[in-house]
Chain A
Amino acid sequence: MALLKAKGLTKRFGGLAANNEIDLEVPEGSLFAVIGPNGAGKTTFFNMVSGFLSSSAGSIELDGRDVTHVPQHEIAGMGLVRTFQLVQLFNGMSVAENVEVGCHLATKGGVAASLFRPKWFRKQEVEVRERAMELLDFVGLSAQADIEAELLPYGQQRLLELARALAAKPKLLLLDEPAAGLNTQETESLAHIIQKINAQGTTVLLIEHDVALVTRIAHRIAVLDFGKKIAEGTPEEIKAHPEVIAAYLGVEEIPDA
């Protein structure tokens, strides 16, 4: 069954169609990747799916429910959690606190609960702290739990953002270029973590520049170019697809004879 279904999804900025009638189905449990050259419309697609941008036309279905014009926090509440291409950490908060914010959707209580602190609230606070530590352990940041998030090196900031998204217990995790700016070794451990997340039952939709990474870990790949989907298939199919090679890698020059 498709967890996420986009039909004829279109976004126009003035005369420019950043996304033009994109159809996409992300099966539940899969590790799905969207690739494409710069400016192909990948992030626009993500922004629409996560409710960050409203679409000009087309529809989005999440878990069988139409979410085309549903506000972002509600989509997040339905289990779709995203990360950002430019890391959006909460500066001024510690690494652990960042992950604790991630538990927002999975917890409850407002001002009154914080003032009166009933038993369930105190229990929940303890659980939130434990969960944050578990997740930091999972991504390998537990030693840095108490330092300020902005002091982390870039690669670890990416991991922190991932841990924070996981704290929301997503059904569908949207990762916007998680490997951008990482070195080979960091990319390797990231790939490993993404595969682990997927193996634990979370559907992952991934935007990525790093074709080698994507073809290695994704079950299925869709390729965007100039706002249109030009191909979709297994990594092997995509690697062999002539249009993809042309769009993504450029047309190969004939070597000198």
Chain B
Amino acid sequence: MTSPNITSPKPAAPAAKFASRFDRFQVVLLGLSALAVCFALIYGGYLLTVMQMAMIYAIFCVGLNFFMGYTGQASFGQNSFACIGGYGSAILCVQYGWEPALALIGAMVVAGFFALIIGYPTLRLRGHYLAMATFSLGLITYDISIQWTSVTQGYMGYAGIPSLGIGNWTVESERGKLVVLAVLLAFAFWLSLRMRDSRFGRGLRAISGSENGAAALGVRVPRFKLIAFVVAALYASAAGSLYAYTFNFISPEAFGPAMSILTFTMLFVGGVGTIVGPIIGAVVTSLLQEVVRGSGHYQDIAYAVGLLATLIYAPKGLSALGGLFRRKKEEA
């Protein structure tokens, strides 16, 4: 039978709301990511480190997705907030003897505060200008972390950071760390879903659809953008802190502008603005990075090719491929 128009309603499945938000393809991708974690847990070795990184970046990207995905704004400066999280945790724990878990929250408060006062004037900019301004923010923070040696120990890096834990319970084994990171990612993801599917989340997504349309319906566009920026900063800060607790060492390089580029790549590979995209992107890109690492200097080129291929052939990222296939099938 030929269908005269593509808008004919699909038979609505009376599925539970939670399940209906993911298509089957996305569930498969999430399952594969979980499988990669299990694989790392079983075989251990270097793959553990790779997956730890993937989890940390995934938390970062889930937050970034609020600002770049749902709200549709550009920020290349989120590494600043990861930097605040990382160094904040390190200093609070080492210098002041705070509990790691408490220091993580303390650093988030600081990062959120900075996001608020930086975002307030910066978010008046749009498009390319916003991208430039936020990128410079990332560069400034990077320079500060190098130059302010009395606090950050500069290029030397900050060593002796404790592992994550509460009270007497600390996670020292690499496998344990990965499990904790995966659980925290799941928690962060769950929180993001709650925020997405609400009046607040709909307001954000409306802004990315049409700022004028959103404003006409009473959405306070500047305020919502600012909140999304702060949410992204909180996630970035938590990711920065977790980085510090996982590797017990941080240096300015970890939170440099390269971090912004990498997470941007992850977000686009996974699918910017999609629900599971940030996680898929972080896992796939982290694994891909290891595959191409052998190629030495060609690593960056391999990256660029990968990103371009995604942008051209899967503009909405890997997690939207399922929908793409489905549409093709329907057209056929």
Within 8 Å by CB of B206, from A101, A124, A143, lies A101
B 200-218 contacts with A by CB, 8 A: 200-203, 205-206, 208-210, 212-218
Using known A-B contacts A89-B210, A115-B191, A146-B9, determine if residue A76 contacts B216 with beta carbons closer than 8 Å.
yes
Instruction: Give A107 to B191 CA distance when docked, in angstroms.
Output: 21
Within 8 Å by CB of B194, from A52, A117, A146, lies A117
Asked if A92 contacts B219 (CB within 8 A), the reply is: no
- CB-nearest residue of chain B relative to A151? B7
A 22-54 contacts with B by CB, 8 A: 50, 52
A 70-87 contacts with B by CB, 8 A: 72-73, 76-77, 81-84
- CB-nearest residue of chain B relative to A142? B9
B 157-208 contacts with A by CB, 8 A: 191, 194-195, 197-203, 205-206, 208
Within 8 Å by CB of A165, from B12, B194, B217, lies B217
Using known A-B contacts A108-B199, A109-B198, determine if residue A101 contacts B214 with beta carbons closer than 8 Å.
yes
B 1-47 contacts with A by CB, 8 A: 5-7, 9-10, 12
Asked if A143 contacts B9 (CB within 8 A), the reply is: yes
Asked if A101 contacts B5 (CB within 8 A), the reply is: no
The answer, yes or no, to whether B119 is at the interface (CB within 8 Å) is no
Instruction: Give A103 to B199 CA distance when docked, in angstroms.
Output: 9
Report how many A-B pairs have Cβ atoms within 8 Å: 122
Instruction: Give A105 to B214 CA distance when docked, in angstroms.
Output: 11
The answer, yes or no, to whether B88 is at the interface (CB within 8 Å) is no
Asked if A88 contacts B212 (CB within 8 A), the reply is: yes
Asked if B199 contacts A104 (CB within 8 A), the reply is: yes
Using known A-B contacts A73-B219, A146-B9, determine if residue A90 contacts B214 with beta carbons closer than 8 Å.
yes
The answer, yes or no, to whether A113 is at the interface (CB within 8 Å) is yes
The answer, yes or no, to whether A235 is at the interface (CB within 8 Å) is no
Instruction: Give A100 to B196 CA distance when docked, in angstroms.
Output: 13
Using known A-B contacts A111-B200, A111-B227, determine if residue A92 contacts B273 with beta carbons closer than 8 Å.
yes
The answer, yes or no, to whether B128 is at the interface (CB within 8 Å) is no
The answer, yes or no, to whether B231 is at the interface (CB within 8 Å) is yes
B197 contacts across to A, CB distance below 8 A: 114
The answer, yes or no, to whether B220 is at the interface (CB within 8 Å) is yes
- CB-nearest residue of chain B relative to A78? B218
B195 contacts across to A, CB distance below 8 A: 111, 114-115
The answer, yes or no, to whether A168 is at the interface (CB within 8 Å) is yes
Shortest Cβ distance from A25 into chain B, in angstroms?
23
B203 contacts across to A, CB distance below 8 A: 101, 104
Asked if A73 contacts B205 (CB within 8 A), the reply is: no
Using known A-B contacts A114-B195, A153-B5, A153-B7, determine if residue A50 contacts B213 with beta carbons closer than 8 Å.
no
B202 contacts across to A, CB distance below 8 A: 93, 97, 100-101, 104
Binary interface profile of A, 134-171, with partner B (CB < 8 Å = 1, else 0)? 00000000011111000111001000000011001000
B205 contacts across to A, CB distance below 8 A: 90, 92-93, 97, 101
Instruction: Give A124 to B80 CA distance when docked, in angstroms.
Output: 37
Binary interface profile of B, 102-117, with partner A (CB < 8 Å = 1, else 0)? 0000000000000000
Shortest Cβ distance from B13 into chain A, in angstroms?
9
Instruction: Give A4 to B285 CA distance when docked, in angstroms.
Output: 56
Asked if A102 contacts B217 (CB within 8 A), the reply is: yes
A 182-241 contacts with B by CB, 8 A: none
The answer, yes or no, to whether A91 is at the interface (CB within 8 Å) is yes
A108 contacts across to B, CB distance below 8 A: 199
Instruction: Give A81 to B213 CA distance when docked, in angstroms.
Output: 10
The answer, yes or no, to whether A14 is at the interface (CB within 8 Å) is no
- CB-nearest residue of chain B relative to A90? B209
Shortest Cβ distance from B315 into chain A, in angstroms?
12
Using known A-B contacts A147-B9, A153-B5, determine if residue A114 contacts B217 with beta carbons closer than 8 Å.
no
Instruction: Give A100 to B205 CA distance when docked, in angstroms.
Output: 12
The answer, yes or no, to whether A255 is at the interface (CB within 8 Å) is no
Binary interface profile of A, 56-78, with partner B (CB < 8 Å = 1, else 0)? 00000000000000001100110
Within 8 Å by CB of B6, from A110, A124, A151, lies A151
The answer, yes or no, to whether A130 is at the interface (CB within 8 Å) is no
Q: Which residues of A contact B (CB under 8 A)?
A: 50, 52, 72-73, 76-77, 81-84, 88-93, 97, 100-105, 107-111, 113-115, 117, 121, 124-125, 128, 143-147, 151-153, 156, 164-165, 168
Closest 5 CB pairs of A and B: A90-B209, A114-B198, A88-B213, A76-B218, A105-B218
- Sample 8 A-B pairs with CB under 8 A, ordered by A number: A52-B212, A73-B218, A93-B209, A102-B217, A105-B217, A114-B201, A143-B9, A153-B7
